[in-house]
Amino acid sequence: MSSRRPQNLFAARNVVHVFQRGVLPHPTADACDVVSAKLTAGLLGGLDTQVAKAADADTVAHKRLSANAPP
């Protein structure tokens, strides 16, 4: 859920896994690692800025995913 109040916005910093080690099968864990490596602070900040400027969060996410879909 996004907030339109600036006091609730904070800069993107570290992206951490939310899965316990050993719970996911290796192919799933590997896929999460690939995604995590691409989620830089600059990228996350840019996405957050778009939403803060009234862009629809679902649209922003869909555009990002579509632009980076595997062949």
| The predicted structure's pLDDT at residue 3 | 55
Q: Report pTM.
A: 0.58
Measured CA distances, 13 to 16, 19, 66, 70 (Å)? 10, 18, 24, 26
52 pLDDT more than 70: yes
| The predicted structure's pLDDT at residue 22 | 81
C-beta of residue 13 within 8 angstroms of C-beta of residue 42: no
Reported confidence tier of residue 60, pLDDT bands at 50, 70, 90: very high
pLDDT digits (tens, 9 = 90+) for 17-50: 677 778 888 898 888 888 888 888 888 888 889 9
